[in-house]
Chains A and B, each alone.
Chain A
Amino acid sequence: MTPGPWHRMDVLARQLTPSVFTLALVILNVVPLHIPGFSNIAPLLPLMAVYHWAVFRPRLLPAYAVFMIGLLQDILTGAPIGVNALVFLVVHGAVLSQKRFFIGKSFFILWLGFALIAAVAAAINWLAVSILSATLVEPQTVFFQYLMTLGFFPAVAWFFLRWQRAFLRLV
């Protein structure tokens, strides 16, 4: 039996969700929350999405989508254009090269992997911005932002895990 048009549209819509979620996190990340001191160390939400989908559904968030989302992140946050595109691509590539390691691992290992990769991402980001602006960015703020990103990871990953179990089981 060949699948009907509705079925195909349904599959396509489901396949688009990882990209749409990642895009939505880029936009949500810059909504002003008016919490004192928060905006300096706001967690990097899109980084979590890039990591998560590279581990579980790399086909649904391919490298070119990661690149485009990184560019949007740069444009919206006012970072030098290209920095986050590079960082997200490195995260994507690093996870794919270690794909075997992540298969069937517990959530804690997943978190640990994110801690390592997010540290590398923060280091690249720090280095790139420091070189481009020809001054040293304060590493302290970068470190706190890294900690916030680690802290928020379980919440985002939990949502994505639930989502992929419910809607992306066969995709």
Chain B
Amino acid sequence: MALVPRSVYRLAQPIRSLAQRFAYISMVAAAVGLMILGKVDVLLMDSIRAQVTDTVAPILDALSRPADSVAKAIEQVRQLSALSQENTLLRESQARLLQWQSAALRLEAENKNLRDLLNYVPGPEPSFITARVIADTGGAFAHSLILNAGVRDGAAKGQAAMTGDGLVGRVASAGSRSVRILLITDLNSRIPVLVGTKRTRAILAGNNSDRPRLIHLLSGEAVSAGDRIVTSGHGGAFPFGLPVGVVASVSDGGIGVEPYVERNRLEYVRLLDFGLGGILGAPEPKAGAAVKARAAPPRKP
């Protein structure tokens, strides 16, 4: 059966293979060209990414639901087996937390008194939207999530993504019904943070592993394992004081940080909007409204 087509193929082969080879080489060149273009024009690539992600988002949304249910069922079975052990742990931690609660109440009262004394003006209260994780893009080369909320729901590029535990990442690109979150563990993530009670400034740099690293620490500043890390708010990308993680290891190779957020448990994520304009632009859904809001005075006198 294959004899006849093959002989025909042999006659036409030189021209055909030449054309095919040319098409192949031009596509390889196009791929390399796109990589370079992606470095040159980041905004263009982001908008293309957002549009394509928007198109695929409904499929991802549908697919991630059964996956979530299965994961939940497995988690429940796992919890059942560890029930009594967990109970003991919870009793212990409850006793400890009650002490902390009384301490916190006392501090809150004291804080309120001091604020009244100083006529302290509180910072803006954040508004937030909650969205479901519909894709967890795996691999050794990029750490990002896709959520099922977009610009039409009030999401905007640059917003901080959080769970109750801590910082997840930031919105890297926003489409009309989906956003992509760059995780704090991604290679391209750089977050200004404060370390420990001394509030040492540093940058938290992702390296595509589960443990991002602290870089650009001032020399002579001591950091030890267990130090708590919060966002510093420098550079205007994030508000001050969002919990990030704890210092896990300090060695010659660098300072490893264990984030509070466990990536595999992420199911719902909050996008915080602190109304931080700065370099990120107003997070208004409509362009006209954004211009008006900027032109108007920010607060009533």
A residues engaging B (CB < 8 A)? 27-42, 44, 63-64, 67, 70-72, 75-83, 85-86, 89-90, 93, 125-126, 128-129, 132-133, 135, 137-138, 141-142, 144-145
Contacts and interface: CB of A to CB of B under 8 A. Distances in A.
B28 A89 contact: yes
B27 A89 contact: yes
A32 B35 contact: no
Contacts of A29: 138
Contact of A70 (B31, B68, B75, B207): B31
Contact of A75 (B20, B52, B68): B52
Nearest to B180: A78
B33 to A, nearest CB: 7
B142 A27 contact: no
A63 B26 CA distance: 11
A42 B35 contact: no
Interface in B20-46: 20, 23-24, 27-28, 30-35, 37-39, 45
The 8 closest A-B pairs by CB, nearest first: A42-B138, A82-B34, A34-B71, A32-B136, A78-B144, A82-B35, A141-B140, A86-B31
Given A77-B144, A81-B38, A34 B265 contact: yes
Contact of B35 (A33, A40, A93, A132): A132
A11 to B, nearest CB: 16
Nearest to A71: B34
Interface stretch (B57-65, B118-126, B240-248, B278-286): B57-65
B137 interface: yes
Nearest to B46: A81
Nearest to B20: A63
Interface string B201-243: 0000001111000000000000000000000000000000000
A64 B23 contact: yes
Given A37-B264, A67-B27, A70-B31, A79 B141 contact: yes
A63 B137 CA distance: 24
A137 B207 CA distance: 7
Contacts of B159: none
Contacts of B64: 31-32
Nearest to A129: B141
A81 B30 contact: no
Contacts of B56: 27, 72, 76
A67 B49 contact: no
A6 to B, nearest CB: 23
Contacts of B145: 32
Contact of A145 (B60, B140, B188): B140
A93 B208 contact: no
Contacts of A82: 30-35, 37-38
Contacts of A138: 140, 207-209
A79 B264 CA distance: 20
Given A33-B136, A37-B264, A63-B24, A137 B208 contact: yes
The listed residue with most A CB atoms (<10 A of its CB), out of B49, B137, B186, is B137
A133 B142 CA distance: 11
Given A78-B137, A86-B31, A40 B210 contact: yes
B155 interface: no
B167 interface: no
28 contacts: A27-B63, A30-B137, A32-B135, A32-B266, A34-B68, A36-B262, A37-B264, A39-B137, A39-B264, A41-B138, A42-B139, A67-B30, A71-B34, A72-B56, A76-B135, A77-B139, A78-B142, A82-B35, A83-B141, A86-B28, A86-B35, A93-B28, A126-B140, A137-B141, A138-B207, A138-B208, A142-B140, A144-B140
A44 B139 contact: yes
B53 A76 contact: yes
Nearest to B265: A34
Nearest to B75: A34
Contacts of A27: 56, 59-60, 63
B48 interface: yes
Contacts of B75: 34
B107 to A, nearest CB: 36
B263 interface: yes
